[in-house]
Amino acid sequence: MSGKPKLYYFDGRGKMESIRWLLAAAGVEFEEEFLETREHYEKLLQGGSLLFQQVPMVEIDGMRMVQTRAILSYIAAKYNLYGKDLKERALIDMYVGGTDDLMGFILMFPFLSVEDKEKQRAFIVQKATSRYFPVYEKVLKDHGQDFLVGNNFSWADVHLLEAILMVEEKKSDVLSGFPQLQAFKARISGIPTIKKFLEPGSQRKPVPDEKYVETVRRVLRMYYDLKAN
């Protein structure tokens, strides 16, 4: 294994994108190996690299890690993005968990039919503006600090910014009723490592397109149609 973390996934967002975000936020350079064929995926399976027969998989510090949450927790702890004590870590876990729920509504969006995409788009915006964004708006307003937890930049901030940008792709003015989140977005986007990741040419992946969808379907043999919530 090389000195840099190595990410094994498709050339697209999916469950790996939050890992890319967190590594980038920590200022960590990483390499990627993209799955493009079923044979490539089966080679990883046969080699025993995929503990639960699934990706994402990340080689880091002599380990082959799977399970997205475990990978993210390790990176957050390793690079001091996981709070200063157990209480802060619990808050970060709660906020990340909530944000993850919201992002879960978006994860399968590219695989939906055109009709179901329109239904899901409305559903995502409704959930974001009625259930999730009000929580973070209140947190930021109540404590009056720059970051969600302990007035220090953490995994929770990175995850929330990623989610905000994903929802804005569905409705550009989704933050119009959330002044605290508007300021938060500008503030976190201006952090040097984040700013670099948001610039063209970075390892941040674009909105999933049909090529990405077809590759995932082919490699994982996903032949069924998904339905919107």
Whether 228 maps to a domain, the answer reads no
* 175/151 same-domain check: yes
The DSSP letter of residue 128 is I
Residue located via tokens 């984040």 = 194
* 152/185 same-domain check: yes
* 148/70 same-domain check: no
pLDDT at 1 over 50: no
* 101/184 same-domain check: yes
Whether 227 maps to a domain, the answer reads no
Give the domain extent around 184: 86-190
* 99/131 same-domain check: yes
* CATH code where residue 96 lies: 1.20.1050.10
* Average model confidence (pLDDT) across the chain: 94
Residue 167 and residue 136: Cα distance in Å, rounded? 15
* 51/71 same-domain check: yes
Residue located via tokens 């055109």 = 114
Total structural domains in the chain? 2
pLDDT at 71 over 50: yes
pLDDT at 182 over 80: yes
Alpha-carbon separation of residue 146 from 127, 135, 149, 157 (angstroms):
24, 15, 9, 10
Whether 229 maps to a domain, the answer reads no
Residue located via tokens 């709070």 = 83
* 170/205 same-domain check: no
* 26/108 same-domain check: no
* 13/68 same-domain check: yes
Position with higher pLDDT, 62 vs 226? 62
**Before 56, cis peptide (omega within 30)?**
yes
Residue 72 and residue 24: Cα distance in Å, rounded? 12
Residue 57 and residue 195: Cα distance in Å, rounded? 26
**Confidence label for 222 from pLDDT (cuts 50, 70 and 90):** confident
What crossing angle do the helices spanning 155-168 and 17-25 adopt, rounded to 10°? 130
Whether 226 maps to a domain, the answer reads no
Whether 225 maps to a domain, the answer reads no
Residue located via tokens 């970075």 = 202
Whether 12 maps to a domain, the answer reads yes
* 175/99 same-domain check: yes
As a residue count, the chain comes to 229
* CATH code where residue 14 lies: 3.40.30.10
Residue located via tokens 């909105």 = 207
Give me the percent of the chain exceeding a pLDDT of 90: 91
Query: Mean per-residue pLDDT for 133-141?
Result: 98
Between vectors from CA 202 to CA 200 and to CA 205, what angle results, nearest 5°?
90
Query: Mean per-residue pLDDT for 153-174?
Result: 98
The DSSP letter of residue 197 is H
Residue 112 CB contacts under 8 Å (≥ 6 apart), including other chains: 120, 226, 227, 228
pLDDT at position 2: 54
> Phi first, then psi: what are they for 134, rounded to 5°?
-60, -35
Single pTM value for the model: 0.94
**Burial profile 5-31: b = 16 or more Cβ within 10 angstroms, e = fewer:** bbbbbbebbbbbbbbbbbbbbbeeebe
Whether 33 maps to a domain, the answer reads yes
* 45/98 same-domain check: no
pLDDT at 227 over 70: no
* 91/66 same-domain check: no
Residue 174 and residue 99: Cα distance in Å, rounded? 15
